[in-house]
Structure 1
Amino acid sequence: MNLPKFLLADNSNNPEDIFVLHTEYPRFLINLKDDEVEWFEDVSGENEQDLANELENLIELAGTFYDEEMKQYEE
């Protein structure tokens, strides 16, 4: 099975939260409501500056993914 790079996720216990799951390395779940991130991998051994740049980019892509998905629902 080919997983998409990002998935929308929700939880009825947290109806105000907006979750996006990143399925590739480094895997994470971000709550777009408050930008809280839960990491599923230990990324501490990586070059810190390269990692920070990549993670910033991935979090931005997660927000863009969510915006594009919401546009499709509105149409």
Structure 2
Amino acid sequence: MSKIIIKKNQNKDEVKTNHNLLQLTTKKLNWLKTSAYFCIILNSLLSLITIYYKNKIPWFTTGINNLINLIIPGEK
């Protein structure tokens, strides 16, 4: 049989627990999740920029140019 050993503080009668372990793993998971989302968004933006500048889809680039001209009036 295995014995359960509980260590107590000398100053207080509280049981020592390791609550920091759970918080540390949660912080790491949040950091991994945000970095993954950042990579996905960056990859999407770079692929859209590549499509725009290589003019692979003509209606996409002309649509963006028309939208820019509506927002910022060009030369008259």
Q: TM-score range by the shorter chain?
A: 0.3 to 0.5
Q: TM-score, normalised by structure 1?
A: 0.37
Which structure has the highest helix share of the two?
2
- TM-score (structure 2 length as normaliser): 0.37
